A = this chain, B = another copy of it.
Amino acid sequence: MTSQFGQFCPIALASEVLAQKWMLLVVRELNAGATRFNEIRRGVPRISATLLKQRLTQLEDAGIVARRWVQPDGPDEYVLTKAGTELKQVLSAVGTWGQRWARKIENDDLDPSWLVWAMHRRIDTSMMPNGRTVIAFHFTDAPRNHNLFWFVCKHPQVDICVKPPGFEEDVSVVTDTRTMAEVWRGIRPLRQSISNGRIQVKGRSALQRKFPEWLMLSVFVSAKQRPN
């Protein structure tokens, strides 16, 4: 595995570890703050456990990830080292390029539970009323039992439920996965999608009017859109 490319060019040496399947996505999750094995997996659901462990070991060998154990015999925690945090520049460059130039979104990319997982990290709970706020999401195109999600928000925490949390819903959002995904990516305007009914927001009017302020979008929306 060493000297895969037969070059001492820094791009080649970096590619040996970074340019592998899933690798950048694992780093993305760690950079987003995930530390536990299954926490990482939620952000990269289609990776197998075997392969995720293998990738984490490779990252550790490369000095990008450090393993810590909270309690003896407890599960490991994975954190980025200094070398790992500096990969933020790479993630940013790749994501910015992808936002602008990557292929169109296909239906198989549209996993509502991944969308929800991504969104829950970008809820601005500081803009919410004091106490608890519950937001319900209903994705009309998704199969039953995988189409309903609840965000239970209590500053600064956002928990995801896949069953009714038992608290009253303050705001309820109904739309299809593609619409919400495109809004999340910044390809489609949120407020306009609400006003034209592609996204229905229900709830007390004082709250539902606030919803767009709570939802920060993907960190890459600011990347300039492609021409033509």
Q: Which residue numbers of A lie inside 8 Å of B, CB to CB? A: 2-25, 28, 44-46, 62-64, 82-83, 86-87, 89-103, 105-106, 108-111, 114-115, 118, 181, 185, 218, 220, 223, 226-227
Contact = CB atoms under 8 A, between A and B. Distances in A.
This chain: copies in complex? 2
Q: Which 3 A-B pairs have the closest CB atoms?
A: A10-B98, A14-B98, A13-B102
A8 B181 contact: yes
Contacts of A223: 10
Nearest to A107: B3
A19 B97 CA distance: 13
Given A8-B185, A11-B25, A90 B94 contact: yes
A10 B7 CA distance: 29
A25 B3 contact: no
B8 A62 contact: no
A208 B21 CA distance: 48
Contacts of A101: 14, 63-64, 83, 86
Contact of A90 (B4, B45, B97, B118): B97
A110 B6 CA distance: 7
